[in-house]
Structure 1
Amino acid sequence: MGDLEIRPATTEDVPEIVAMLADDPLGAQRESPDDLTPYLAALDRLTSDPHQHLVVAVRENRVVGTLQLTVIPGLSRRGSTRSIIEGVRIHADERGSGLGTILIQWAVEESRRQGCQLVQLTSDNARADAHRFYERLGFAPSHVGFKLQL
């Protein structure tokens, strides 16, 4: 993958991250790239929480991918710690390049490093291609997820 760097996201990365979040039919309905104020506030909350890891993949000084990894200590499963992968996005120019695999592998390895016994993620029902991708990486569709909009 050449000169790829995976590093914590910074304030300067927010416009490119939000653009990737909005760059599909689902994201276009949920995101507002024209007003970065709530995203910058969210980045402040994320960077102040040691259990949150918002990272970007950078190549040639350009953000080409992102994901959020959340580490959650718990009591269930004999007091195990789990992680959740969220907000995985790859720049349109990079899709199919293997970058998604590298980002997910980074998240799994970071989860191991932090003592997690389980890595989980959710994916919208409409994202059939993403489901096949996650299954190829060893994730199993083992649960039904529910959400409640507040």
Structure 2
Amino acid sequence: MGDLTIRPATADDLPEIVAMLADDPLGAQRESPDDLSPYEQAFERLAGDPNQHLVVAVREDRVVGTLQLTVIPGLSRQGATRSIIEGVRIHSEERGSGLGTLLIEWAVGESRRQECQLVQLTSDATRIDAHRFYERLGFEASHLGFKLLLD
């Protein structure tokens, strides 16, 4: 993958991260790349929480991928710690290059380092290609998800 680096995201990376979040049909409806203030506030919360790992993949000084890994201690499963992978995005010019696989492998490795017993992720029901991608990496569809939007 050349000179690829996966590193913690910084506030300076937010424009590129938000642009990737907005660069698909679902993201285009819910993201606002023209106003970074809510993302800046969210980034501050993430940066202050040791269980949150927002990372970027960088190639040639350009952010080309991102994901968020959340580590959650719990009581169920005999006190197991689990991780959740969210917000996986690959720059449009990098899709199909293997970068998504590298980011997920990083997240699984970091989950092991954090002594997690389980890695979970969610994917919108309409993202059929993403579902196939996760299944190829060993993830199994196991739950039916529910959401409640709060005002």
Coarse TM-score class (shorter-chain normalised): over 0.9
Residue 116 of structure 1 aligns to a residue whose secondary structure is: coil
Distance, in Å, in 2 between the alignment partners of 1:23 and 1:98 is: 18
Name 1:120's counterpart in structure 2: 120
Cα offsets for 1:2-35 (capped at 9, x unmatched)? 1000000001100000000000000000100000
Instruction: Check if 1:28 corresponds to 2:32.
Output: no
Name 1:18's counterpart in structure 2: 18
Where do 1:105-144 residues align within 5 Å?
105-144=105-144
Cα offsets for 1:52-94 (capped at 9, x unmatched)? 0000000000000000000000000000000000000000000
Distance, in Å, in 2 between the alignment partners of 1:42 and 1:54 is: 11
Q: Which amino acid aligns with 1:19?
A: A
- TM-score of the aligned structures, taking structure 2 as reference length: 0.99
Name 2:88's counterpart in structure 1: 88
- TM-score of the aligned structures, taking structure 1 as reference length: 1.00
Name 2:57's counterpart in structure 1: 57
Distance, in Å, in 2 between the alignment partners of 1:141 and 1:84 is: 14
CA-based RMSD of the aligned residues comes to: 0.3
Q: Which amino acid aligns with 1:109?
A: G
Distance, in Å, in 2 between the alignment partners of 1:123 and 1:129 is: 10
Q: Which amino acid aligns with 2:131?
A: H
Distance, in Å, in 1 between the alignment partners of 2:144 and 2:93 is: 32
Name 1:145's counterpart in structure 2: 145
Q: Which amino acid aligns with 2:54?
A: L
Unaligned runs of 5+ in 2: none
Runs of 4+ aligned residues of structure 1 deviating over 6 Å after TM superposition are none
Question: C-alpha displacement at 1:138, in angstroms?
Answer: 0.2
Name 2:37's counterpart in structure 1: 37
Q: Which amino acid aligns with 1:44?
A: E
Residue 16 of structure 2 aligns to a residue whose secondary structure is: helix
Question: C-alpha displacement at 1:119, in angstroms?
Answer: 0.1
Q: How many residues align?
A: 150
Name 1:47's counterpart in structure 2: 47
Name 2:6's counterpart in structure 1: 6
